Each structure stands twice: as C-alpha cells, then as structure tokens.
Amino acid sequence: MGRAFLVVMDSVGIGGAPDADAYFNGTVPDTGANTLGHIIDACAAGAADQGRSGPLAVPTLDQIGLREVMALAAGGTASSTRSGVATEQSRGKDTPSGHWELAGVPVPWDWHYFPNDTRAFPSDVVQAVCDAAGTDGILGNCHSSGTDIITLHGPEHIKTGWPICYTSADSVFQIAAHEEHFGLDRLLNLCATVAPKLHEMRVGRVIARPFIGDAGSFQRTGNRKDYAITPPAPVLSNWVQDAGRHVYGVGKVGDIFSMQGFDEVHKGNDATLMTHLSDLVDSAEDGSLTFANFVEFDSLYGHRRDVAGYARHLEWFDSEIGKLRARLRPDDLLVLTADHGNDPTWVGTDHTRERVPVLVDGYNGTPLGLMGFVDVASLVAQHLGVSPK
C-alpha cells in the first residue's frame, strides 16, 4: 500500500496571490512580492554569492516542475507538468492558516492581531502573564524580531526575571525566556497557562521562545514550542488516522495542529529534520502519512531578509530531497509545497501573501494547474484511499 509524504517548505512562495494588494508589510502592499522569483533574480545578478555563487541551482525541484509552475503563477499558459500552483482562501498569511488549509480546513474566522503600538498588549493579557509567571511585569510588549528583542531585553530579563513578550504581523503571542535563569519548564508551563486566554481572543499561537547564553551572545535554542488553537474540524491527519493508518509529524506540524491526528512527532533543526524524513522513507508504515515542515527558510532567512542564506538553504534542501526521492517506493506520493511567502527582498520583515508551488512526484493524474490549498489535502487523501470526515 502506497505512502504519502507531504513536505512544507515554510514560506517558499512563487508570486503574489490575486488578493495580495489587501495584505501589507508596513504600508506597502504585498502585490509584486515573489519569494522564489526574486531569489532567483538575485542569484542570477550575483547579489546572493555569500557562501554560494552563481544562478540558483535546484535541479531536483526543477525536474519535478518548479520552473513550469512559476511560469504558470506568473500568468503563463497551463503547464505540461503534473504539478500545480495553489492559492489560499483563508484570510491570513500565517502558519496556522496555511497549514490548516493545506490539510483541508480553511480558517472560518478572522485572527486577532495586536497593534504595532508602544504597548501592543491589553492590560488583562499582561496581568495574566504576570500572574502565571509570578512576576510584577513583563518586558517587550511590542512588535519585534525575536533575535533583536532578546539582544535588547535579555540582560534585564536575567536581572529581573520578567518574561520577554512580543508579537509580529502574525496572530501570535511570543514569550522569550532564558533556559537557565528562568527555566525551560517554567517557560513552557507559562505558555500553556496563558494560551487558553489568547486562544479565546482568536490569537492563533502562543509560542515559547527559549534562549541561552550571555549578553552579547544570546542564542535561541531548538526547544521552541507552539501552543496553537485546535482546528475547528478534522483535518487530513485525522482522516488518515481515523482510517486506521499511522501519521508521522516532522518539525513543528504537531504543534500547529495541537497534536490532533499525529501518532508521533520528530523535532529538531532542519538538518536533523531531514535525517528524520530520510529515516521515515525507509521505515514509515504502508498506507501512512508523513507530514513535515522545514521552518528555517522562514525563520532564519525570510524574516531576517537574508537572500544569500535563503538561496543556500534552497540548494541544500534540493540536494537532500534528491537523495531521498531516489529511495521512494514506486507507489509512494511526495508533495512539496509551502504555506505562504516571505520574500527576503521585500520591505519589512513579515510574511508575504503569495501563491505556492505544489510539486508532486508519484502522481499520474491530470496536470494540477491552478488549484486551492485545500486541493492538496484531497490529492493526498485520494492517494491514500481515505475520505474527509
């Protein structure tokens, strides 16, 4: 019985969605954003040669149809490839919206976003954090880059014990704390305690952001944990599990779905996750679903507007997927897609509202062409012979 491997290349968009003009980075609409296209342009112009050089080299993705679907996303004619271009219907450009819809359930509500003011959070939220943490206050209380805010407030956090709370253009409430001075378990318990209140407000995720080190050399660790709202209906992983099949998570996908429909989850940085994914190609059960997310495209390179780093990561990913692809069974399905964009050449540091590629290997149906995010779930479900619940 064939297996399915659904792999999300976090933020690898391929051009502005039809409604991109309604989404902004600061005051600039996302119209014209194109994560992959602009990286390819930068590489061709010699503007992304740090740690690599020359045109972007992704032969595996190209073989599956990447350049053809990019042309289709740009308004070209229907591609001869079986792969497709997906457009999101949920109102957002964030991780939960993208992943839930890829798994078959569009978000039925508007997320709550915090204002980009001097004090981003309402007093009752601040008080709830203080009560749960046992502190007299919080640090941050603003929109910020995660690395910037721990550099700015890390020393004071160590001195006072106050948690560092911040947000972004996404519907998130993030809490950073030092693993040794504050305690990792204490941070995770704090996030778990305040998450229900934030979820009632339709804030999509409360994210624990632990870090280590000393002033001037703070580093975030791999012990991040997302406390996400539970999807409002069964998703792809539930459909597969309800059919008596095994579901493997690789990366943060278990957290995104509040562990609904996952039998086991493997975590780590992207290099470690690739090892887990490779191992599952060899060991995953017949009829199973492996759902993976590779986040560092987004977290390390998109948000930090690092074009060369993003290009290096794409080339690394392409090489590793090429090795893995060669070991897939004849009846396996591999789907490579994304959840939103994060154009490192664009203004600001936020996600960009883009269409995404749907690159498929092991699919012999008609060309997918233009499609919706939800059609990805249907494609995988059909391959596995399971039905939506």
The residue among 19, 42, 45, 20 whose CA lies nearest residue 31 is 20
Q: What sign does the CA torsion over 258, 262, 266, 271 have?
A: negative
> E strand or H helix at 67, and its extent?
helix 66-73
Task: Answer whether 43's CB lies under 8 Å from 311's CB.
Answer: yes
Task: Answer whether 35's CB lies under 8 Å from 120's CB.
Answer: no
pLDDT at 287: 98
pLDDT at 81: 82
pLDDT at 191: 98
pLDDT by residue, tens only, the chain of 389 residues: 899 999 999 999 999 999 999 999 989 999 999 999 999 999 999 999 999 999 999 999 999 999 999 999 999 876 678 899 999 999 999 999 999 999 999 999 999 999 998 899 999 999 999 999 999 999 999 999 999 999 999 999 999 999 999 999 899 999 999 999 999 999 999 999 999 999 999 999 999 999 999 999 999 998 999 999 999 999 999 999 999 999 999 999 999 999 999 999 999 999 999 999 999 999 999 999 999 999 999 999 999 999 999 999 999 999 999 999 999 999 999 999 999 999 999 998 899 999 999 999 999 888 999 999 999 999 999 999 999 97
Question: Encoding tokens for residue 141?
Answer: 């209380």
CA distances from 222 to 19, 211, 232, 312 (A): 35, 9, 29, 21
Question: Encoding tokens for residue 226?
Answer: 């997302």
Cβ burial of 317 (10 Å; 0-12, 13-18, 19+) is buried
Prediction pTM value: 0.93
pLDDT at 1: 87
pLDDT at 389: 76
pLDDT at 79: 64
Distance of alpha carbon 154 from alpha carbon 133, whole angstroms: 17
User: In this structure, which amino acid lies at residue 280?
Assistant: L
CA distances from 38 to 27, 198, 312, 354 (A): 20, 36, 14, 13
> E strand or H helix at 371, and its extent?
strand 369-372
Task: Answer whether 53's CB lies under 8 Å from 336's CB.
Answer: no
Strand partners, 336: 7, 359
Helix (H/G/I), strand (E/B), else coil: 71: helix
Task: Answer whether 262's CB lies under 8 Å from 240's CB.
Answer: no
The residue among 369, 370, 375 whose CA lies nearest residue 388 is 375
Distance of alpha carbon 47 from alpha carbon 162, whole angstroms: 42
